[in-house]
Every structure is written in C-alpha cells, then in structure tokens.
Amino acid sequence: MESGMFAIAHAVAVLGACVGIAGGGIGIGIVGAHALDAIARQPEERKAIRTNMLLMAALIEGLSFFGAVIALIVVFQSAPGGKEDKAAVAKDGVVAVQQAQVGDAK
C-alpha cells in the first residue's frame, strides 16, 4: 500500500514540475509578446523595455526552475522501507543523531 502511495506521490511531483515548467514557458512568451508590442508603439523606449522584459523573464524562469527542483527532490527521496539516513533517525518526532558503533579490535 505504501509503495503505491509513493508511486502516486512521484507521479504528482512530475506533473507538478511539468505544469510549473510549462507555465514558466507560457509566462515568458507573454512577457516577450507584450514587450515587442510596447517596442513597436514606442521605439525610443526600446532599451528600458528590453531591460524590464529580461528581468521579468529571469524571475519567471527562476520560479519554474525552483518548482522543478522541488519536484526532483520529491522524486528522488528515499522510498518508505528503503535505506534510512544513517546520520539522523527520527524517533517520536525528535531527530536523534546515531553515533558510530566501533567494534572492539583485539
């Protein structure tokens, strides 16, 4: 049951990344189209419009990249019942750091 829910979580994460990336592409297209319209109406303001267009495109691209990174983190996290992180193990809501157990070498 848990592995099925884990697969569903992966699918939702991938779909979320796709929507975020597609939304970013659409947003950059809209910004570019409106910037070209503005430049066509006021060619003397070309430099200022281009600067603002590039700034907004970078912000939109950064947001879609952030969504893709979050989705990849969800996809590549360890599966339930899989290998646990040996540095920290959660017990009763408290993270306890495991200490390395060294065998007696005699």
pLDDT category of residue 33 using cuts at 50, 70 and 90: very high
95: Cβ–Cβ under 8 A, 6 or more apart, which residues? 88, 89
21 vs 37, higher pLDDT: 37
As a whole number, mean pLDDT of residues 74-100 equals 54
pLDDT category of residue 74 using cuts at 50, 70 and 90: confident
- Quote the CATH superfamily of domain 2-97: F1F0 ATP synthase subunit C (1.20.20.10)
pLDDT at position 98: 45
Number of helices (H) and strands (E), helices first, in the chain? 2, 2
Average pLDDT, rounded, for the chain: 77
Q: Can you tell me the distance from the alpha carbon of 93 to that of 80, in angstroms, rounded to the nearest whole number?
A: 17
pLDDT at position 76: 78
pLDDT category of residue 11 using cuts at 50, 70 and 90: confident
Q: Can you tell me the distance from the alpha carbon of 49 to that of 56, in angstroms, rounded to the nearest whole number?
A: 11
Residue of 66, 68, 67, 82 lying closest to 6 (CA atoms): 82
pLDDT at position 81: 54
Q: Are 71 and 78 in contact (CB under 8 A)?
A: no
Strand partners for 91 = 94
Please tell me whether residue 97 adopts helix, strand or coil conformation.
Answer: strand
As a whole number, mean pLDDT of residues 52-71 equals 89
